[in-house]
Amino acid sequence: MDSSSENQNNNTNDNTNDIEQRIERSAAALDRSWVTRAKDTIGQWAYIMLRDADDHDIDWDWVRGLDLEHGIGVAEPADLEPGAASNAHDLLKEDLAIRDRLEAIIAKMSMTFMRDFDRRIKTYELPRALAYADRRLTDQIDLLRDRGVAEGLWTITDEERERVTVPVLHAVENGPFTDDDLADIQDHTAEIVNTRAEKRKADREKREAARHEKQMALFEADEKHYGSIEAGPDESAPADSSSDANSADDLVEGQQIINDDNPAVPGTEQVNADETAVPEARFERSRHSAAQHVAAHTAAAPKDYWREAYLPGRDVDKVMGIDLETNGTEPYRAYIIDVGFEYMNMKSPRPAEAAGSTYAYDKDYYESGDAYDQHRFSFGVTPEAAKHGNAFIIQLTGIDISQRTGSEFPLLDEDPAAQADLLKRLTAQPFVAHMATFEHSFFMLNVAGYAEAYRNGHVTIIDTLPMSRLWDEGSVPCEGHPDGDNTLDAYAKRQGALREDDAERHLGLEDTHIMLLAMKHHLTALKAEARGPWGPGGKAGIGGKRIINYRRHNWRR
């Protein structure tokens, strides 16, 4: 047996042992009662969070009445089967209404939790429980739609609606429903998401306008304080200023001269040097115009790229790269089905105990290099989600979720041991991901304790996406990518971590590996060129996004 086969067998055995241990832990520890207990914290949330993400009043008694543990939909299991006696249209309508109402609450909870500076809300358990129930409700909605297709009630196409792709129902020819009949069971996700995005945009513009107005007000107040002619003699400069009608100041070429007590305009020394002075009215008009120009320029200046907060610092070393594969994009609807993570040191050599170790990746030409402690975990979905399937995920990742059920594939949101292990790793050092807000959003609603650890400053996130966008000149804007092609595939190829004739694998561990390789190559080049973290705007320390808690000072009264 050659060494590569031996290594691959060792990897297989290690993964098999991990799976067996996780099955044993999961079977012993599976306890869904936490979902019900999470409702005990509703009072903490209700004290602070009165309205949802769509600015509707929240009926917390309605939330309290939901059976999060056993299902919040109106359909019974038999109703999901084609040919059931129940009305699929009416069941689907009620389920969609429940989901829209619930998700508007979930969408507001992250911001509320992070801005709870007085720590009235103790845990993030309730949002995780609501997301747990929402995933199962989404499974039910999918199967009710499938039932309608099987019964010839409608057909379904996936359509892009700005930021979101949604399933759209169409009436079948000579069927029982018209398109108008199906209007009340269409998926409104795109409409909701796009409306919220437009509202956020309008709020940003409103804040910018208010900031500009405040800046102009400060300029005008400054003019009054220092002697604008618009203020008049009694509100203007000091009493001995020539802006008073009875000023005794000399006249130069028939123009009043503001004296040295008023720093807003030329003083007598400047006048003597120039032998003339700028007329006050003309000067004030010029000064006001300049103030308007500065304020307008400031307001129009490009805002900081918000992902810059996720950039690495010049002292970053040990990191854990991680990548998730899921069966959807929304963390409160989708399941995590594949997790890959490994470690790499950006500056120092890898640990001595890891030297010489190799790992057989799915891509046979991948080499471990400086990576160590690689792990791959496979998770499952509910039987309902498996029955619905997902052809797109099969095409993208090769993972068939219809086969991801049973004890061999525990669900991450039902596996407390796996969550605890993941949390321990995520808080031990910075973790790195490409478009890390995706991983972060799934951790928030799937990993017990993650949100609390993040709020308390114990999680540091580094994102290779802004590294590609801001520090990689090869990222050239084009029609499909206005800010440049900053996909992991393109970034890894530009940094020599992926062959030009290949593509990213869309599996957690493989994508993590090329991401860390690209990051290390990139940082090495940036340091040699005194750019990036080593440039004028670079960060000291490890960098990355984390919550900084400022200690409150209790003042004596």
pLDDT at 276 over 60: no
Q: For position 269, what pLDDT does the model report?
A: 54
3-class secondary-structure state, position 298: helix
Calpha distance 158→166 (Å, rounded): 5
Contact 488, 507 (CB under 8 A): no
Tell me what pLDDT residue 556 has.
39
Residue 1: its pLDDT value, please?
A: 44
What number is the average pLDDT over the span 160-164? Answer: 83
Report CA-CA distances (Å) from 540 to 428, 533, 536.
20, 7, 11
CA 554, CA 557: separation in Å to the nearest integer? Answer: 9
Mean pLDDT value of segment 18-22:
49
What is the strand order of the sheet 461-463 is part of? Answer: 372-378, 336-345, 318-326, 431-433, 461-463
Q: What is the pLDDT of residues 371-430, one digit of tens each?
A: 999 999 999 999 999 999 999 999 999 999 999 999 899 999 999 999 999 999 999 999
Percent of the chain with pLDDT over 90: 62
505 to each of 340, 347, 360, 435, 498, how far by Cα in Å?
A: 12, 27, 14, 16, 10
Instruction: Give the integer Cα–Cα distance in Å for 311 and 537.
Output: 11
Q: Tell me the average pLDDT across 357-366.
A: 80
pLDDT band at 291 (very low <50, low <70, confident <90, very high): low
- Asked if residue 325 lies in contact with residue 337, where contact means CB atoms within 8 angstroms, the answer is yes
Q: Is the pLDDT at 465 greater than 60, yes or no?
A: yes
10-24, 37-51, 411-425: range with lowest mean pLDDT: 10-24
| 13 pLDDT more than 70 | no
- Both tokens of 300, joined, read 């129009």
Least confident of 148-162, 190-204, 219-233, 387-401: 219-233
Strands 431-433 and 372-378: unpaired
Structure tokens at 462: 């580094």
* pTM exceeds 0.85, yes or no: no
Residue 283 pLDDT class (50, 70, 90 cuts)? low
Which residue has 């949802």 as its token pair? Answer: 52
Q: 219-268 pLDDT, tens per residue?
A: 777 766 665 544 444 444 444 444 444 444 433 333 443 444 444 444 54
Boundaries of CATH 3.30.420.10 in the chain?
Answer: 307-534
pLDDT for the residue numbered 219: 76
Looking at residue 21, what is its pLDDT? 52
220: buried, middle or exposed (CB in 10 Å: 19+, 13-18, 0-12)?
Answer: middle
Tell how far CA 485 is from the center of its chain.
19
Q: Three-state DSSP class for 232? A: coil
Using pLDDT thresholds of 50, 70 and 90, give the confidence band for residue 548. Answer: confident
Instruction: Identify the pLDDT of residue 433.
Output: 98
Lowest mean pLDDT among 7-11, 69-73, 204-208, 431-435: 7-11
Q: In 10 A of CB 152, how many CB atoms?
A: 12
Of 361, 367, 483, 384, the C-alpha closest to 141 is 384
Q: Are 139 and 382 in contact (CB under 8 A)?
A: yes
Q: Is the confidence at residue 285, as pLDDT, over 80?
A: no
Mean of all residue pLDDT scores within the chain:
84
Considering only residues 536 and 91, tell me which one the structure prediction assigns the higher pLDDT.
Answer: 91
Compare 117 and 274 and report the one with higher pLDDT.
117
Coil, strand or helix at 472: coil
DSSP collapsed to 3 states, 254-294 = CECCCCCCCCCCCCHHHHHHHCCCCCHHHHHHHHHHHHHHH
Q: What's the confidence (pLDDT) of residue 254? A: 39
pLDDT(509) > 60: yes
Percent of the chain exceeding pLDDT 70 equals 78
The pLDDT value given to residue 239? 45
According to the model, what pLDDT value does residue 270 have? Answer: 52
pLDDT level of residue 275 (50, 70, 90 thresholds): very low
Per-residue pLDDT, averaged over 131-157, amounts to 97
pLDDT at 303: 60
Close Cβ partners of 213 (under 8 Å, ≥ 6 residues apart): none
Q: 506: number of CA atoms within 13 Å, CB side? A: 12
The CATH architecture to which 307-534 belongs is 2-Layer Sandwich (3.30)
